[in-house]
Chains A and B, each alone.
Chain A
């Protein structure tokens, strides 16, 4: 479970995220959407323990990320949009590294299964420089899944994947959610969000403008009834205001 309570992040006088509160329960897939610069990556990075909140609290599986960061981090996985890998470790060695780091039990038999699931078996001994963008993304995801996190944070997880890879990735995310992982998925691909997510969090300029299932959002904003998710997104974030004014 991921619990965020009044999370605020300031950079000097600039507000990146303002008093954000939400809960993601086991099995939930929360779609984090918003226009560029809305604070999605900042939020995900804070949830991953990369950024310190200016105020507010974040709890992963009941563990406070600020007061008990090591225990909290051992239960989560963050997969950034740009996979950052170690240049001199092979694909398999990356997984060995993660297994040791997170104290994964029975990692030995799990690693080949994960490599197979993510179609990395043929590249098991390759270095990151020898992998395509999509393969790197798959490796980053494999590293994130190996320790079976109870909270999974995905930032644009489908970037660089081919159609088969996209389908497999969607299945992987859905399977992890079914197994009880709380998932937060940030993406601009609204059809993906619609397909995979059980709830939505729409943020704009660091503030939540909508939170809940699509039905709950429509209930709170009846004027959105009957609209597509794209139209809802535009209405909620005011993304077309600038274009209308320019036109």
Chain B
């Protein structure tokens, strides 16, 4: 395909009768050529790595893992997550979840705009006779690579459902959902950018979408609040009752109308029959179409507002669009403050500090942490004040969220070697050993993520403050809290060591850079998390075993430690885990020292 494209591009240049006449530019074919060649050359470059034994081993392990994760259960309807698609009762809950997730894009901006242009694209395409709309279309097409892959993964995971819906129908429905989410994220980030960039004019243009979205979220929140008493009663009866109460709340007229567009988008995925799918799919497709038109129109207006079409302007836009959730400077020009680095002391601390600064200025980590902690504290007060049972339920939800953070956090927080390997020449000239560099890189993110997870402790703390008797009557609760607090940094160190080790061992295959991706790569992220969890599980067998043995022995021998034997077991388990991580760091240090520039640059 690429060869024919190449011919068509050349043909346009040579079939002009008079060479002096300006040739008709063909941006679409040129862009298609660019992306097709980039994709195929990148793939070729990555495949050539298989000559290295390290990469061969990775391919074998990867194939086995993907088979195990996706196809181990060949029974029809037996996809690992197929049960999720067996009931359409959960549609309102999923719809509310998606709507509230989208709120994050509107409040903080998207992590990474799909309209972010690479420096080479800015240099070649912006001054070229290519309309901005053509550029947008090319970018949207490019996003489709990730979306299609994600669709395939989720189609396999959700396959089956008793034969009620053919695979292609569910796949098509999922593709619509992921495409709409990607477009919505993009649209939200442009509207937000517009409001910030063009101040009053931008705000005027952004006010309608912002009001619409705020109205939808408000309706859902209203629905939940209006059923507060029912939710309070349900909390006494357990999680299932709470779930049912939430469903009732969301099915009330106002939240139901507000959620209708999201529900309509999700209906085809959960359709119980081909006939139902036929009626639901066109509506979802219309929603996709509307999103597409919205984004294209938004960006046109965004660009029209720009008076300068110079390279400088393009670069400024580029920087603006690639900025992460937070901006380094506030609108007043104030720079996000970071802890001061002492000029003397251990040099590796400088690397960890640099990464902390990047997280604070590039990822708005502190702002999010404060908002997150305050939100949790408020919810803890509300639920505990409602009833002890509601408080327990919220504590359970917090613990679940904490467990998820432990596994997913290292995938999101990438201010470590995954960011710095792109600057390998700088790292290589530093007067530090490989071990020092690797340890410092992992330490920075481990500290940040540990603080993030520890912030969840605000929930039990608030509950103890509200009811001090919990301290005396808690039984195992307090020793467990201490144990969790102790285990979190060691576990985080393990998870970040695995993530950084993967980047260091396979720099040509691992995506480098700080940006986490959006919904369109949810399936890929799920597989990556699964693989990381498997490796972590192997590493945890011995430490957890020793910890459990200690607790058991303490119980059997009737140790005077009593419930505090949990803490002793955790201490021993953490020590064993630290002893496992240390040789891993030493080894990764030697890998770093042997890593050549060409190992990194060709893959990224």
Q: Are B357 and A88 in contact (CB under 8 A)?
A: yes
From A73, A108, A129, give the contact of B343 (CB < 8 A).
Answer: A108
Q: Are B358 and A88 in contact (CB under 8 A)?
A: yes
Can you give 20 A-B contacts (C-beta < 8 A)?
Answer: A11-B598, A45-B597, A50-B429, A50-B597, A74-B431, A78-B425, A86-B354, A87-B362, A88-B360, A99-B343, A100-B341, A100-B344, A100-B349, A101-B347, A101-B350, A101-B430, A102-B431, A103-B347, A105-B344, A108-B343
From B343, B351, B428, give the contact of A48 (CB < 8 A).
Answer: B428
Residues of A within 8 A of B425 (CB): 45, 48, 50, 78, 80, 84
- Overall SS of chain B's interface: helix
Contact with B along A149-164 (1 / 0, CB 8 A): 0000000000000000
In the complex, what residue of chain A is closest to B361 when comparing beta carbons?
Answer: A88
Q: Is B332 an interface residue (CB 8 A)?
A: no
Q: Is B432 an interface residue (CB 8 A)?
A: yes
Residues of A within 8 A of B353 (CB): 97, 100
Q: Are B433 and A70 in contact (CB under 8 A)?
A: yes
Contact with A along B324-347 (1 / 0, CB 8 A): 000011000001001001111101
Contact with B along A81-116 (1 / 0, CB 8 A): 000101111100100110111111101100000000
Q: Are A96 and B429 in contact (CB under 8 A)?
A: no
Q: Are B431 and A97 in contact (CB under 8 A)?
A: no
Q: Is A49 an interface residue (CB 8 A)?
A: yes
Q: Is B594 an interface residue (CB 8 A)?
A: yes
Q: Is B199 an interface residue (CB 8 A)?
A: no
Q: Is B23 an interface residue (CB 8 A)?
A: no
Q: Are B596 and A102 in contact (CB under 8 A)?
A: no
Q: Are B328 and A101 in contact (CB under 8 A)?
A: no
Q: Are A96 and B343 in contact (CB under 8 A)?
A: yes
Bound together, the chains give a CA A84 to CA B351 distance in angstroms of: 15
From A51, A87, A88, A103, give the contact of B597 (CB < 8 A).
Answer: A51
Q: Are B350 and A127 in contact (CB under 8 A)?
A: no
Q: Are A73 and B362 in contact (CB under 8 A)?
A: no
Q: Are A86 and B428 in contact (CB under 8 A)?
A: no
Q: Are A73 and B430 in contact (CB under 8 A)?
A: yes
Q: Are A104 and B343 in contact (CB under 8 A)?
A: yes
Contact with A along B175-193 (1 / 0, CB 8 A): 0000000000000000000
Contact status of A71 and B350, CB under 8 A, knowing A50-B424, A84-B423: no
Bound together, the chains give a CA A242 to CA B350 distance in angstroms of: 50
> Nearest 8 pairs between A and B by C-beta?
A74-B431, A100-B350, A88-B361, A73-B431, A50-B428, A88-B358, A107-B343, A101-B347
Bound together, the chains give a CA A49 to CA B429 distance in angstroms of: 6
Q: Is A125 an interface residue (CB 8 A)?
A: yes
Contact status of A100 and B429, CB under 8 A, knowing A50-B597, A87-B358: no
Residues of chain B having any CB pair with chain A under 8 Å: 319, 328-329, 335, 338, 341-345, 347, 349-351, 353-354, 357-358, 360-362, 423-426, 428-433, 593-594, 596-598
Contact with B along A113-135 (1 / 0, CB 8 A): 00000000000010101000000
Q: Is A172 an interface residue (CB 8 A)?
A: no
Bound together, the chains give a CA A70 to CA B437 distance in angstroms of: 11
Q: Are A90 and B335 in contact (CB under 8 A)?
A: yes
In the complex, what residue of chain A is closest to B433 when comparing beta carbons?
Answer: A70
Contact status of A96 and B597, CB under 8 A, knowing A73-B430, A74-B431, A101-B432: no
Residues of A within 8 A of B338 (CB): 93
Bound together, the chains give a CA A104 to CA B344 distance in angstroms of: 7
In the complex, what residue of chain B is closest to A90 when comparing beta carbons?
Answer: B335
Residues of A within 8 A of B593 (CB): 69
Q: Are B433 and A100 in contact (CB under 8 A)?
A: no
In the complex, what residue of chain A is closest to B329 when comparing beta carbons?
Answer: A127
Residues of A within 8 A of B319 (CB): 129
Give chain A interface residues in 136-183, CB to chain B under 8 Å: none
In the complex, what residue of chain B is closest to A73 when comparing beta carbons?
Answer: B431
Residues of B within 8 A of A86 (CB): 354, 357-358, 423
Bound together, the chains give a CA A16 to CA B357 distance in angstroms of: 38
Give chain A interface residues in 195-231, CB to chain B under 8 Å: none
In the complex, what residue of chain A is closest to B426 when comparing beta carbons?
Answer: A84
Residues of B within 8 A of A129 (CB): 319, 328
Residues of B within 8 A of A99 (CB): 343
Which of B344, B351, B594 has the largest number of chain A CB atoms within 10 A?
B344
Q: Is A21 an interface residue (CB 8 A)?
A: no
Known: A102-B347, A103-B347; 19 extra A-B contacts, CB below 8 A, are: A45-B425, A48-B429, A50-B425, A50-B429, A52-B594, A87-B358, A88-B354, A88-B360, A89-B357, A93-B341, A96-B341, A97-B350, A100-B345, A102-B431, A104-B343, A108-B343, A125-B335, A127-B335, A129-B319
Bound together, the chains give a CA A72 to CA B360 distance in angstroms of: 33
From B341, B350, B429, B594, give the contact of A73 (CB < 8 A).
Answer: B429
In the complex, what residue of chain B is closest to A104 when comparing beta carbons?
Answer: B343
Residues of A within 8 A of B597 (CB): 45, 50-51
Residues of B within 8 A of A89 (CB): 354, 357
Residues of A within 8 A of B426 (CB): 84
Residues of B within 8 A of A74 (CB): 431
Which of B343, B347, B424 has the largest number of chain A CB atoms within 10 A?
B343
Closest CB in chain B relative to A145 CB, distance in Å: 14
From A78, A88, A96, give the contact of B328 (CB < 8 A).
Answer: A88
Closest CB in chain A relative to B127 CB, distance in Å: 17
Residues of B within 8 A of A100 (CB): 341-345, 347, 349-350, 353
Residues of A within 8 A of B354 (CB): 86, 88-89, 97
In the complex, what residue of chain A is closest to B514 when comparing beta carbons?
Answer: A87
Bound together, the chains give a CA A108 to CA B343 distance in angstroms of: 7
In the complex, what residue of chain A is closest to B340 when comparing beta carbons?
Answer: A96
In the complex, what residue of chain A is closest to B434 when comparing beta carbons?
Answer: A69
In the complex, what residue of chain A is closest to B356 when comparing beta carbons?
Answer: A88
Closest CB in chain A relative to B573 CB, distance in Å: 34
Q: Are A88 and B430 in contact (CB under 8 A)?
A: no
In the complex, what residue of chain B is closest to A70 when comparing beta carbons?
Answer: B431
In the complex, what residue of chain B is closest to A74 when comparing beta carbons?
Answer: B431
Closest CB in chain B relative to A245 CB, distance in Å: 27
Residues of B within 8 A of A96 (CB): 341, 343
